Structures are given as structure tokens and as C-alpha cells.
Amino acid sequence: MSTDFTQEQLAFAQAVAAFGSKEAGTREQRDALTENGTHTHNQALYEKMAALGWLGVTVPEEFGGADGSTVDMCILLEQSAKAMAPIGGIGPTLITGAAYSKFGSPAQKESVLGGIVAGRSYSISMSEPEAGSDVGNLSCRAEKTDGGWVINGQKTWCSNAHFADRILLVARTGRGGGKHEGLTMFDVPADVDGLSIVGIGTMGGKEVNDLYFTDCVLPEDSVIGVEGQGWSQLMTGLNIERLILAAMMLGTAQRAFDDTLEFITQRKQFGRPVGTFQALRHRIADLATEIECGRLLVYHVARLVDENPTTLFPREASMAKLKLTETAKKVALEGMQMMGGYGYATEFDMEKHVRTTLVSSIYGGTNEIQRDIIGKTYGL
């Protein structure tokens, strides 16, 4: 754990860890909370965290939040991921909340930021079947009508829309000179007429959805921020989005490491714990070193963002996302190998860590795209 935390931050980390251990510490508890792993989010558990005042960690005080720092947010995400607390709503909710916080009208802020504090979930929908990495090329359309907007088109891969309260939709309101012009953010109630939400089957259970908009009518005041400025508004959220994903993968990497260490310390072959064979001991040393490097990077970037809230850190934020997702994936895969057949068995959590971490290099901008962004900051 970073030694640069304040006493308050250390206490916060310990409180989240203790909560996770009490509520989701055993496999039986986690199975009960997730219907045997088919769901990523348990609303009752999430509301308990809301009642403790944790979900509004970065929400301003005027909306009932704790007005905490980006470091505080990363502590919450790292510790809850490490505890395997099934609160899949938290990542997209905090990403979405940051956009409402910056660009929302007073009424939108009241509703969404207040909702985050109370334990409601929110989704963000940019991706489309033909606009994934090239998301600026999206074509879901919002037409202005008398007193409102009509949305038509398909979105895909929308995390948590099946239990979200509202969805931050990015749609095309115009075609300017470039593809990034003419995009607008909209505030969409998840139960609005004209929107159909259909789950996509994945290795992770019920998590992502296709969204079909058919003549879906939204009121005029549904625009978040400025019409036509959706792309530049999205760009201002990238520091936070990448840090959120990195912090969650830091927690998952640490958990996969801890689970591996526990197993290889107990498992004996040839009359000794398998962890004492140099082949495994050295891998543990390498993984521990990588996790510590990743932890330093996450909290370094979080502090940069706290100290410079209006500055974009494309290089550092992408490095954090890249490094922590690759590290988490590596720890889980190595953990599975070091546990032998037991790592592959559903009785143990390692196969879940593998599934959780595999996809982390795809969502939130693939790691190929993160490498591209980092490379561009070196003038390439």
C-alpha cells in the first residue's frame, strides 16, 4: 500500500477492505450476492455502501457527496475490487457522474449526482456496431423537433444499462467538417419509450447490452452541456475514466496475487510447498514488483489530476490504463498456471480473475489504442 496516504486515507482503505471482507469475504457470500456468478452487481450491497457515504466520494458536498479527491476515489475502487465486492455498477457510474458534474444543468446534477450518493447506477453509451475504436464515427442520430429530440439508431456494449437509472448517450446531431464535430451528449432515462435494452452474452455474465432507439422522444433539456460539443466534452473525462479502470484492475491484480500466494504456500508436491520451487518463487517476485510499480503509477496519476484538475494527461492516464490492465491479466494467467489444475476449476476464484482481467484490455479504449495515444505524445 502506498506510504503517501494520509491517516484519513489509510483509515478509508481499511474500512472499505473490512466492509468487503464482512459482506463478501467468502465464496458462499459472493455466490449468494451474484446468483452464482451470473450478475456483476448486487443492489442491496451497493446501497449499503451508499449509506456509508462512500459512493459519493467525488461528488460535491452540495449534492450530498464527500467532495473527496481522485486519490480517495482510487482507494475506494482498489479496495472494493480487491475484496471482490460485486458492485459492477460503480465504474460506469463514476465515469458518467464526472461528465454530469462538469457539464450537467443544475437539474441534471441534482438528479444524477444526488442519485450516485443514494446508490443509483448510471451507464455511458458511445460504442456502436460500426464504431468501436473509431467511436468518433458513430451514427446513432438525434433529430431536433419542436420542443425536443428524436433518437434513432443502435448502440452496443453498454455496461449495466439493464439496471441503470439513466444513460449518458452520445449521438450525432450534425455532420461538420470532421467526424468528431456534431456529436452531442444526452441524458436518457433507461425506461424511456422507444428504447429497447437487450443483453449480450459474454464470459462475464450479465454485464453489457445492445440499445435500440426507435423514434425515442427526449425533451429539449436532455442535452448535457453544449449541442455539438460531445467529443470535446468526452475528451475532458478521459483522465478519470482511465484511472477508474486502472484502479479497479490494481485491486483485482492484488487479489489474484494474494490468492495465488495463499494457494502455493499450502499446496505441497515432492514433499514441500510448490511456492518454494524457484520457478514459482521468482514469478511471485516478478508479479509483486509489477503490482507495486502499477500502484505507484495509479496514485501518481491520481495526484497529478488532483493537483491539475483542468489539465489533460493523455500520456500518463493511458499509461495507467495500459499498465494496470496488462499487469492484472498477467497476474491472473500466471496465477492460474501456478495453481495447476485448481486454477482452472470454478471452485476457486482464479478462473474468475482470468475472465475479469482478459476483457480489461478491450473496454475503455483497447490497449492498442492506448499505445497509439502514448506514442503520439512522443510525436510519432
Ligand X SMILES: Cc1cc2nc3c(=O)[nH]c(=O)nc-3n(C[C@H](O)[C@H](O)[C@H](O)COP(=O)(O)OP(=O)(O)OC[C@H]3O[C@@H](n4cnc5c(N)ncnc54)[C@H](O)[C@@H]3O)c2cc1C
Question: Least separation, in Å, of the C-beta of 92 and ligand X?
Answer: 5
SS3 366: coil
Block residue for cell numbers 463478501:
24
> In terms of CB distance, is 337 or 366 closer to ligand X?
366
Of 26, 36, 133, 346, which lies in the binding site for ligand X, with binding defined by CB under 6 A? 133
Residue of 99, 165, 87, 161 whose CA lies nearest to 125:
161
Q: DSSP H helical segments within the chain, as ranges?
A: 7-24, 27-34, 43-51, 70-82, 90-103, 106-118, 230-235, 238-266, 278-307, 314-338, 341-344, 350-358, 367-377
Of 126, 297, 305, 350, which lies in the binding site for ligand X, with binding defined by CB under 6 A? 126
Q: Note whether 242 and 232 are within 8 A (CB).
A: no
Residues in 356-375 that interact with ligand X by CB under 6 A: 359, 362-363, 365-366, 368-369, 372
Question: Least separation, in Å, of the C-beta of 200 and ligand X?
Answer: 9
State the binding string over 148-167 for ligand X (x if CB under 6 A, else -).
Answer: ---------xxx--------
Using the rule CB under 6 A, is 320 a contact of ligand X? no
Residues in 159-218 that interact with ligand X by CB under 6 A: 159, 207-208
Q: What are the angstrom distances between the C-alpha of 42 and each of 15, 33, 234?
A: 19, 6, 28
Residue 123 burial (CB < 10 Å; 0-12/13-18/19+)?
A: buried
> In terms of CB distance, is 36 or 137 closer to ligand X?
137
Q: What are the angstrom distances between the C-alpha of 10 and each of 4, 6, 72, 292?
A: 9, 6, 10, 17
Residues in 76-95 that interact with ligand X by CB under 6 A: 92
Residues in 260-299 that interact with ligand X by CB under 6 A: none
Question: Least separation, in Å, of the C-beta of 232 and ligand X?
Answer: 17
User: Interface residues with ligand X (CB under 6 A)?
Assistant: 92, 123-127, 132-133, 157-159, 207-208, 359, 362-363, 365-366, 368-369, 372
